[in-house]
Structure 1
């Protein structure tokens, strides 16, 4: 989910189990839609309910290591209010911290394909469109 603060910086979380930043979200469970999974994961990870907006990006990822190929969805989390930000309570078994950063400032802390996907989502917000990508590269 792509959420921003009032300055337009993107909300990033730092997982305890890997060395890269992420945006809030996660895997779908059996019989769960991508939108429902986004809402659930944000609630579990951040401890807040966010109005999840429109679909920004659909991105296909190829097989990598133990992970099969997958389709990633990025939804618009909108602009979080100061009250919402103040209410964030991280799932301590999963996340060590959160911060709002400009995408350019976060690039070195992101996997390259994730950085490309987030850039597509950021562009989609501004353009009012939904983008299809493969491995973080826009197609179509």
Structure 2
């Protein structure tokens, strides 16, 4: 089969982020300067970069932290209108110690603030499907497993 005979293949955008928790189990969210809603720390994967490496790079760039990421909690098939197909990975960032919280700096100016948010309050800060994705990741962490999701909901 030649290249011209190959069937079309998906070429999704790939992004990766991490969940960080405080002692009360709340999730760290960041406010990007270019969005109206809050996000988890992370961003798009660059060509030749793994999702895990991209997540670590983005956290260094956004928060000036060098995390020791735990396992992947969820991979989410989440195509978006006007953006096309997307695969989104969430890794376990664990709990941040008070000294790590004090070390947070908005290194690249992309983030304007951060805060911890309870799972019940996620929709007040983020789009519904991000809230679903975060809850799916929290459930996966609680179950000691990773999860596959579509549009934020576990399948």
TM-score normalised to structure 2 length: 0.86
Q: SS of the counterpart of 1:122?
A: helix
Cα displacement (A) at 1:62: 1.7
Cα displacement (A) at 1:96: 0.9
| 2:14 equivalent in structure 1 | none
Distance 1:43 1:92, change over 3 A: closer
Q: SS of the counterpart of 2:123?
A: helix
Stretches of structure 1 that go unaligned for 5 or more consecutive residues are none
Stretches of structure 2 that go unaligned for 5 or more consecutive residues are 1-17
TM-score normalised to structure 1 length: 0.95
Q: Which of 94, 108, 115 in structure 2 is aligned with 1:99?
A: 115
Q: Provide Cα deviations, 1:62-107, integer angstroms capped at 9, x if missing partner.
A: 2411x12111000000011011111000136211100011121232
- The yes-or-no answer on 1:80 pairing with 2:103 is no
- The yes-or-no answer on 1:5 pairing with 2:22 is yes
Q: SS of the counterpart of 2:114?
A: strand
Give the alignment's Cα RMSD to 1 decimal.
Answer: 1.0
- The yes-or-no answer on 1:68 pairing with 2:84 is yes
- The yes-or-no answer on 1:43 pairing with 2:60 is yes
Number of matched pairs? 138
Distance 1:8 1:95, change over 3 A: same
Distance 1:78 1:42 in 2: 13
Contact persistence 2:61–2:108 (CA under 8 A): no
* Larger radius of gyration between Structure 1 and Structure 2: 2
- The yes-or-no answer on 1:18 pairing with 2:23 is no
Distance 1:106 1:130 in 2: 21
